[in-house]
Amino acid sequence: MVFSFVACKKAAKDAATDITAANDNTMAESNYNDATNMVDASYALGASFTARTETGSTGARIEDVLGTVTVTVDTTSATHMITIDFGASDYTCLDGRKRRGKIIATWTGSYRTPGTVINISFDNYFVNSNQIMGTHKTTNQGLNNAGNLVYKIEVNGSIKKAVGGTITWNSTRYREWTAGATTLDPRDDAYSITGTANGTTVLGTSYTINITQPLIRKMSCAFIESGKLELTPTGGTTWTLDYGSTGCDADASVSVLGLSYNIKLF
């Protein structure tokens, strides 16, 4: 009886630790992917970033995706730069998330040119009062065998959570542009994401991530719509995080050893 009691307490503790890792990874996954998507939506899909659609034209801008934000494109300085400014106070975007602060991107060449490098940084940037920090590098790796552009995305980030504590998240991902590349509307874009990651939770637990089924993200949705990954906390049991297959919703689940827990993608 004593052995069973101790074993149950350990299982409950392991489950709580693993759920925390799943939730913290999901938060990081969502916010750093969003940063890439918002930079993508801040320019037209022409030969260079300077071709960003002008105000009042029929092409979509980031304002059409997230609401009234200020986007500045600087192509006169030695380092070309895009600044997405949500303001100093919380602004509720069209996707329901409250943002403030700035996302800043610099680039070395045309977005579509193999070898182009785009660096993203954050200036006092918050999403739902969670502060997003760190570095974000995107490298154009050219066309794959399917004829789709592939981008290598490297993140060395951390998030200071509104509820207390800081998580870290380091990732190397490959982002395949599977739909919408031939239009000027970022809302029809879709991406397939593969790769690995590692991080630490607010509890100080480290974990590793391996995507086992590509994560599907559409710009028309605020969340990852489908895909699976495996999450392994240090010294713990490997969990499966399943984003489901019900389309655009905030629902996902984590499962291990026949047990399943529902989580929200916020």
Note the pLDDT tens digit of each residue in 203-260: 899 999 999 999 998 878 878 889 999 989 888 889 898 998 888 888 888 888 888 8
Say what the pLDDT of residue 2 is: 34
φ/ψ (deg, to 5) at 13: -65, -45
Give the bridge partners for 72, in sequence order.
Answer: 83
Give CA separation, 45 vs 59, 111, 140, in Å.
10, 8, 14
pLDDT at 67: 65
Each residue's pLDDT tens digit, 144-200: 999 999 999 999 999 999 988 999 999 999 999 999 877 766 678 899 999 999 999
C-alpha 38/C-alpha 84 separation (Å) is 8
Q: Is 207 helix (H, G, I), strand (E, B) or coil?
A: strand
Residue 140 and residue 94: Cα distance in Å, rounded? 29
Residue whose C-alpha is closest to residue 97's, from 65, 52, 54, 133: 65
Pair 54, 70: CB distance under 8 Å = no
CA 75, 127, 150, 200 dihedral sign is positive
Place of tokens 């940037």: 125
Structural domain total, the chain? 1
Task: State the alpha helices, DSSP H only, in the chain.
Answer: 2-40, 62-66
Q: What is the pLDDT of residue 150?
A: 96
**CA–CA separation, 138 and 189 (whole Å):** 17
Range of the domain at 143: 2-264
Write down the pTM of the prediction: 0.77
DSSP H/E element including 253: strand 251-256
